[in-house]
């Protein structure tokens, strides 16, 4: 099996970008070790603090964020980092050209129940004409030069794109390296699986309510086939299933909290995952527009998300056209 660096060399990825990716993986190996130690590592449980998102932080959220941030900045290859756990952008080497946005531990509510979690990252280049700080990161998803995630499950896996398709690597603990296990990830165009938080059903708008209602009717309904629902409460593991065998993942805008109609962050979750899904032949949308075409206005911006098997996402989007309704989310909210 091939190791990561030779694979990226064959794709003519720059040595500096490879080094940045490799640094992320070094941090991921340490996070993986601590997760697999569980209670033995003394890092389970919550803190008394909330992050910028208003979410209670897990101890491993803080540890993972600090590990990734420190290791990236120590490379001198990173101009700035932006984390879901940080209020503001953290500046690095003023002469470096890479920007890294990341969610250090997606799905951290699963930590204490030994569920799957992951690290999601997005890599951009420093714009030629942008003020230092937040403005550096206000780029569309199309401007990403690499994106991926590390899934900490029964095995630790890297799923990566540099714009030349999607590959999966598995951490071999015997050699301490990520080895290529799937050379070309392709999302099936059709599916019989969907992933959505059904507890929010009463807050959905008409398009999503009607779409899911028709899926639940199965073979007796208008779709004429039975669907299975899967939900891991961690975007990284739900999207990993979509990339592995197809499906549709949805976290739509709703009216549960008018001040926060959307759950997922554009820069740390939606954009990198959309890059992966599109590179694997799938589709990613807010329900109204393509996710990677959005122009962000804030580093912690939230968006509605529909992504996965192309034909199923298209079917869902037909409901957004058919059932006209007032959007609970304004663009760039």
For residues 98 and 153, the answer to whether their CB atoms sit within 8 Å is: no
pLDDT digits (tens), the chain, 333 positions: 899 999 999 999 999 999 999 999 999 999 999 888 877 656 555 554 555 555 556 688 899 999 999 999 999 999 999 999 999 999 999 999 999 999 999 988 888 888 899 999 999 999 998 899 999 999 999 999 999 999 999 999 999 999 999 999 999 999 999 999 999 999 999 999 999 999 999 999 999 999 999 999 999 999 999 999 999 999 999 999 999 999 999 999 999 998 899 999 999 999 999 999 999 999 999 999 999 999 999 999 999 999 999 999 999 999 999 998 888 886 544
Residues annotated within the binding site for Mg(2+) are: 84, 103, 105-106, 269
Angle between helices 59-74 and 15-37 (to 10 degrees): 150
Structure tokens given for 299: 């580093």
pLDDT value at residue 333: 43
For residues 109 and 263, the answer to whether their CB atoms sit within 8 Å is: no
Residues annotated within the binding site for substrate are: 106-109, 197, 263
Angle, CA of 158, 171 and 284, to the nearest 5°: 15
Residues annotated within the binding site are: 84, 103, 105-109, 197, 263, 269
pLDDT value at residue 221: 97
Q: Which of 257, 273, 260 is nearest to 305 (CA)?
A: 273
Q: Which strand (E) or helix (H) includes residue 178?
A: strand 177-182
Structure tokens given for 202: 């009463």
CA distance to 19, 59, 204, 301, per residue, from 100 (Å) = 13, 22, 33, 16
Q: Which domains are delineated in the chain?
A: 4-182 (3.30.540.10), 193-322 (3.40.190.80)
For residues 100 and 144, the answer to whether their CB atoms sit within 8 Å is: no
Distance separating the N- and C-terminal Cα atoms of the chain: 45
pLDDT value at residue 109: 82
């Amino acid at each position: 099996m091939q190791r990561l660096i030779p694979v990226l060399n064959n794709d003519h990825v720059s040595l500096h970008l490879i080094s940045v990716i490799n640094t992320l993986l070094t941090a991921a190996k340490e996070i993986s070790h601590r997760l697999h130690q569980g209670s033995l590592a003394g890092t389970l449980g919550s803190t008394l603090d909330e992050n910028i998102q208003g979410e209670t932080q897990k101890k491993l959220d803080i540890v993972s964020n600090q590990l990734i941030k420190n290791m990236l900045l120590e490379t001198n290859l990173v101009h700035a980092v932006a984390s879901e756990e940080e209020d503001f952008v953290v500046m690095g080497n003023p002469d470096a050209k890479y920007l890294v946005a990341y969610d250090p531990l997606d799905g951290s509510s699963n930590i204490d129940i030994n569920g799957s979690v992951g690290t999601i990252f997005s890599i951009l280049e420093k714009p030629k004409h942008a003020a230092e700080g937040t403005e550096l990161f206000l780029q569309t998803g199309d401007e990403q030069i690499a994106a991926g995630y590390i899934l900490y499950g029964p095995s630790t896996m890297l799923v990566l794109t540099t714009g030349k398709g999607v590959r999966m690597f598995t951490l071999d603990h015997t050699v301490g390296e990520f080895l290529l296990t799937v050379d070309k990830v392709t999302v099936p165009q059709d599916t019989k699986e969907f992933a959505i938080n059904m507890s929010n059903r009463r807050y959905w708008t008409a398009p999503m309510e009607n779409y899911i209602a028709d899926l639940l009717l199965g073979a007796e309904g208008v779709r004429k086939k039975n669907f299975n629902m899967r939900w891991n409460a961690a975007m990284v593991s739900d999207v990993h299933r979509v990339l592995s065998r197809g499906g549709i993942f949805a976290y739509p805008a709703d009216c549960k909290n008018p001040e926060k109609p959307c759950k997922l962050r554009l820069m740390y979750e939606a954009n990198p995952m959309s890059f992966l899904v599109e590179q694997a032949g799938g589709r990613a949308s807010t329900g109204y527009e393509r996710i990677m075409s959005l122009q962000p206005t804030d580093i912690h911006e939230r968006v509605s998300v529909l992504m996965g098997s192309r034909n199923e996402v298209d079917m869902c989007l037909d409901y957004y056209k058919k059932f006209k309704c007032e959007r609970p989310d304004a663009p760039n909210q």
